[in-house]
Amino acid sequence: MNIFLLGYMASGKSTVGKLLASKLKFGFLDLDAYIETKEAMDVPTIFSKKGEIYFRKQEAKYLNEVLALNNPTVVALGGGTPCYGDNMKVLTQH
């Protein structure tokens, strides 16, 4: 089972997510941080160098990659994650 936290940027998703994961004994994952690790650059740099369309495609790819792990995880989504592609459909299925 996964729990997804969504909301505006800087609304506290990561802060609350870490606390919730600890209390539930779940893993915690910040999707933007995961993307930054995979892409070896921060989100603003990805946007400026490769563009938003590239970022959104990678975001969907990495979201699916995380979900395929099938570990109980609290996932702090990026502020725009549910708004693009099939991400919201994917989230509601998990």
The predicted model scores a pTM of 0.91
45-93 tens-digit pLDDT: 999 999 999 999 999 999 999 999 889 999 999 988 988 989 999 999 8
Query: Does 22 have pLDDT greater than 90?
Result: yes
Distance (Å, whole) CA 86 – CA 28:
23
